[in-house]
């Protein structure tokens, strides 16, 4: 078990002094060119493509368990490791890793608030030398609690106890922009563009808790509900998932495949 007691959302000033601490692994999900240019000291690189599976037209699925075990072992994750993930695009890729870890039964993880933007722009140390990962054995213990699939959503479409939070843009939500066979949204879903959660004036950190809670209150997303987050592939909505967990919403699920699954079928209702 990880001995580090870090919050789900960790600030750069809290991470900087413990970078060399045993049991900590910082994972970089930027582009390879960005990682080569600068990264958090000691951070290992993970290609986002290795934690998602595509079965066209459905994108953003969970890879087979054996493949995930291999990927996560290869970058140095096992039960003793606390993972701190970051990217350079608002946290979607990093949050998808954390959601995947939770779905595989790994509970020790944090998101670096603001990612590389906050870290580099605020003068924290960076390095260019690539970090060679230490192989560890990741043993998956799959947990369906964080996962919602199409069947689950279809069964709960009429349930007032379940809220569907769509993290796409308003144009995608309304069907004006369409990246699947059909445009629109899952009936009853509530739209909160994932970028609304980010504070542009604070290096893409999450907005303050009370601000986010106020937005969700106004949208009618209540903490007592089972909240399911989705976008087009469960990339952007992974950040919504982590945001809700951070705000203390006790029951949150993410929908891998998301609209690329729902909107490319003819047997799912669309609004």
Residues 16, 87 within the same domain: yes
> Is residue 76 in a domain?
yes
Residues 109, 24 within the same domain: yes
> Is residue 141 in a domain?
no
Owning domain of residue 83 = 9-121
Of 106, 121, 136, the residue that ends a domain is 121
Residues 16, 74 within the same domain: yes
pLDDT at 2: 64
> Is residue 268 in a domain?
no
> Is residue 105 in a domain?
yes
Residues 158, 112 within the same domain: no
> Is residue 49 in a domain?
yes
Residues 183, 234 within the same domain: yes
The string of pLDDT tens digits covering residues 143-188 is 999 999 999 999 999 999 999 999 999 999 999 999 999 999 999 9
Of 121, 137, 158, the residue that ends a domain is 121
Residues 157, 98 within the same domain: no
Residues 170, 106 within the same domain: no
The string of pLDDT tens digits covering residues 203-240 is 999 999 999 999 999 999 999 999 999 999 999 999 99
Q: Which residues are catalytic?
A: 231
Nearest to 173 by CA among 230, 235, 92: 230
Task: State the pLDDT confidence band at 1, using cuts at 50, 70 and 90.
Answer: low
Of 79, 100, 121, the residue that ends a domain is 121
Residues 186, 245 within the same domain: yes
Total domains in the fold of the chain = 2
> Is residue 128 in a domain?
no
Residues 156, 245 within the same domain: yes
pLDDT at 3: 73
Residues 18, 85 within the same domain: yes
The string of pLDDT tens digits covering residues 71-111 is 999 999 999 999 999 999 999 999 999 999 999 999 999 99
Q: What CATH number does residue 170 fall under?
A: 3.40.250.10
């Amino acid at each position: 078990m990880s001995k580090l007691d870090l919050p789900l959302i960790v600030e750069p000033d809290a991470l900087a002094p413990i970078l060399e601490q045993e049991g900590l692994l910082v994972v970089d999900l930027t582009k390879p060119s960005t990682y080569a240019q600068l990264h958090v000291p000691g951070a290992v690189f993970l290609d986002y493509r290795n934690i998602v599976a595509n079965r066209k037209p459905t994108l953003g699925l969970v890879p087979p368990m054996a493949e995930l075990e291999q990927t996560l072992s290869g970058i140095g994750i096992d039960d003793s490791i606390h993972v701190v993930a970051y990217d350079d695009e608002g946290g979607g890729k990093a949050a998808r890793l954390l959601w995947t870890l939770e779905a595989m039964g790994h509970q020790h993880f944090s998101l670096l608030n603001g990612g590389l933007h906050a870290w580099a722009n605020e003068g924290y140390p960076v390095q260019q030398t690539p970090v060679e990962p230490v192989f560890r054995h990741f043993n998956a213990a799959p947990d369906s609690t964080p996962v919602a699939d199409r069947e689950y959503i279809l069964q709960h479409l009429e349930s007032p106890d379940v809220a569907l939070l769509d993290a796409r843009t308003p144009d995608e939500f309304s069907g004006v922009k369409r990246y699947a066979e059909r445009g629109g949204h899952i009936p009853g879903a509530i739209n909160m563009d994932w970028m609304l959660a980010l504070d542009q004036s604070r290096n893409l950190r999450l907005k303050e808790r009370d601000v986010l809670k106020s937005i969700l209150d106004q949208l009618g997303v209540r903490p007592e509900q089972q909240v399911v987050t989705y976008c087009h592939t469960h990339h952007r909505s992974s950040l919504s998932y982590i945001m809700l967990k951070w705000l203390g919403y006790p029951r949150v699920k993410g929908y891998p495949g998301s609209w690329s699954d729902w909107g490319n079928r003819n047997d799912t209702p669309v609004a």
